[in-house]
């Protein structure tokens, strides 16, 4: 009964859903879980775990999530959540795991994510996120895995990614990224998997020291499939020259 109830689509409000989890956990005899959720209700600043994966949650992410300043795990994956990632997530400086993938989130990645100095694992992919990867991500020196697969990210890869000294996986496949791979990636001695396939705007050479993963995954036969790496990047037109990339529209009469 509790499982059926929790899978009913409902609008997301952090404290309301946590209260429901407390009630359903208590009724099912899961005392440890109930106690943890009760802590989130009574003293949000002491809440350490908020896991609402696959609960058919709808609506937007509330800014009040930033009140959970002791949070270590935030798992909101596999829900049809919409809206944007609130900048208040930057207040969760103790979080080590943040998963919001497989939703319908749009907008840009907030630069405030760069304050999450304890973060080790991230999953932001399978959304409708746009814009560039913030250079502030390079401040996450504890990060082991950065996953932003199958979204709509644009722009170039920031060279600050080369500051992720402990990262083992950079999974950025299936976006609309352009330009070259920054040479700074060659300094990532712990990097085991670089997945950038299906970014048709990436071009140029693979930086020295980078060994891309060739493991077939995420619809890619190789880590570089569908990119222009290994070929010369297009030469931009001289400053002041008319662009040939899109036609000039005449004003309507």
Which string of DSSP letters, residue by residue, matches the chain?
Answer: -HHHHHTS-EE--HHHHHHHHHHHHHHTT-HHHHHHHHHHHH-GGG--EEE-TTS-EESB--GGGGG-TT--EEE--SS--BS---GGGGG-TT-SEEE--SS---SBPPGGGGG-TT--EEE--SS--EEPPPGGGGG-TT--EEE--SSEEEEPPPGGGGG-TT--EEE--SSEEEEPPPGGGGG-TT--EEE--S-TEEEEPPPTT-------BTTBSSTTTTSEETSPPPPPPPTTPPPSSSPPPPPP-
230-242 pLDDT, tens digit per residue, is 777 877 667 665 5
More confident: 206 or 84: 84
| pTM for this predicted structure | 0.78
125-169 pLDDT, tens digit per residue, is 999 999 999 999 999 999 999 999 999 999 999 999 999 999 999
């Amino acid at each position: 009964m509790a499982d059926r109830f929790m899978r009913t689509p409902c609008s997301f409000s952090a404290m309301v859903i946590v209260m429901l989890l407390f009630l359903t956990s208590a009724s099912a005899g899961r005392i440890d879980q109930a106690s943890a959720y009760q802590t989130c209700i009574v003293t949000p600043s002491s809440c350490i775990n908020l896991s609402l994966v696959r609960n058919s949650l709808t609506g937007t992410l509330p800014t009040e999530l930033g009140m959970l300043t002791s949070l270590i795990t935030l798992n909101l994956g596999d829900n049809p959540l919409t809206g944007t990632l609130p900048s208040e997530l930057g207040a969760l400086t103790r979080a080590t795991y943040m998963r919001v993938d497989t939703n319908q989130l749009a907008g840009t990645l907030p630069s405030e994510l760069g304050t999450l100095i304890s973060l080790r694992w991230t999953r932001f992919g399978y959304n409708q996120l746009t814009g560039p990867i913030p250079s502030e991500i390079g401040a996450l020196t504890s990060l082991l895995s950065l996953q932003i697969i199958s979204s709509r990210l644009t722009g170039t890869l920031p060279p600050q990614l080369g500051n992720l000294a402990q990262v083992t996986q950079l999974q950025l496949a299936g976006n609309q990224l352009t330009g070259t791979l920054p040479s700074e990636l060659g300094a990532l001695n712990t990097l085991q998997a670089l997945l950038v396939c299906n970014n048709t705007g990436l071009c140029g050479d693979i930086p020295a020291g980078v060994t891309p993963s060739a493991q077939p995954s995420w619809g890619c036969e190789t880590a570089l499939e569908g990119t222009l790496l290994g070929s010369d990047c297009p030469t931009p037109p001289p400053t002041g020259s008319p662009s040939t990339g899109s036609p000039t529209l005449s004003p309507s009469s």
